[in-house]
Amino acid sequence: MTRYYLEPIGLTASPQSEDGAAVRLAGGLVYASRFALVRREGSRTAAREVLGVAALEAGLAQWPETVRAQWDNLRRIHAPLQLGPRTVRLDQPQVMGILNVTPDSFSDGGEFMDKPEVALAHAAAMAEAGAAIIDIGGESTRPGAPGVWEGDEIQRVVPVVERLAATGAAISVDTRRAAVMEAALAAGAHLFNDVSALRHDPRSLELAARTGLPVVLMHAPGTDENLHAGGSYADVVLDVFDWLEQRRDAALAAGIARDRIVLDPGIGFGKTLAENLALMNALPLFHALGQPLLVGASRKRMIGALANEAPADQRLGGSLTLALRAADAGVQLLRVHDVAPTVQALKVWRGLRDAALTDFARIPG
């Protein structure tokens, strides 16, 4: 089977730095001037051609419809997410703050377990620091974590969702169980963040379509309780791209509106250090799927592997590096533990982007 992929590889902060020969990626603050057109035969990369904007547009008519669709997707402008009373714009990176109400999460397990008032205070602090969305999870998905009965997950999540909803915050619930989604929705949640991409529970696709809530579909190779199992790839970037495309199409077929679907490449889930690094370096490609992107690399194991085995609570520097890497790739949603430092980093990043866009002093004229 022959497949094509159109990957932005020449990124720039402004179109004028390329004399206008650059396109805006995904309606954000990142521009691309060069693209790699990759042809894959089965699991083997058969050809790769690097093209500028003019050459790409001139050749579109001779390439398959999938290439033309990816070209349109790369330039697609995404509408804001309406999450309850909050409007989350997707023309710049936004922060999703992590709130784990579990006893065994890899980073902060037990800190907010059975403490809804403490959890609410932490959520409020994240919102005040600039988190656009608060993501509440009642099940640890770290490697080796035991499964959770949906009744226990509901008991952990719902009290926090109820209290947080009263504050007017935009709330995401991190779950793969339809019963938890239903309970969280009734309590005031606005988004479903499913690490199984709506595969784990057979009712999830229909529920998401019926409610009309936005959904995050994350790549994970495993099924059932072990989402990290089975991570074997011929080419991790292209394999994850294909997998996410299939899940996007399954969601569309189930009746979920296209502007309600966010995709996540699943950093750290069933992937080696080298595979995670490859995905981080290839993030711009995933805009070719035509959906907003979410990346959750905060405090992940890959940071410790690259930094003298630093424990999870000492990975801020690495987390910020990965967050800014994602921002440079045009990723719209960054799921993080350390909201205030990330927001500060993004404000400086935005300042640099704005300065580049408005700097015409070195352009002859």
Q: List the catalytic residues.
A: 300, 335
Neighbours of 19 (CB within 10 A): 10
H helix or E strand, kind and range, residue 316: helix 316-328
- Residue 61: partners with Cβ closer than 8 Å, 6 or more residues away: none
Neighbours of 225 (CB within 10 A): 12
Nearest one of 158, 139, 157 to 149, comparing CA atoms? 139
How does strand 31-41 pair with strand 2-12?
A: antiparallel
Cα separation of 181 and 183, whole Å? 6
Gyration radius of the chain's alpha carbons: 20
Cα separation of 193 and 176, whole Å? 8
Within the chain, strands assigned E span 2-12, 23-24, 31-41, 44-52, 81-83, 86-88, 94-100, 133-137, 171-174, 191-194, 215-218, 261-264, 294-295, 333-336
Neighbours of 224 (CB within 10 A): 10
Neighbours of 128 (CB within 10 A): 10
- Residue 150: partners with Cβ closer than 8 Å, 6 or more residues away: 177, 179, 180
Cα separation of 223 and 135, whole Å? 22
- Residue 250: partners with Cβ closer than 8 Å, 6 or more residues away: 198, 205
Cα separation of 163 and 127, whole Å? 14
Helix, coil or strand: residue 52: strand
DSSP secondary structure of 320-353:
HHHHHHHHHTT-SEEEES-HHHHHHHHHHHHHHH
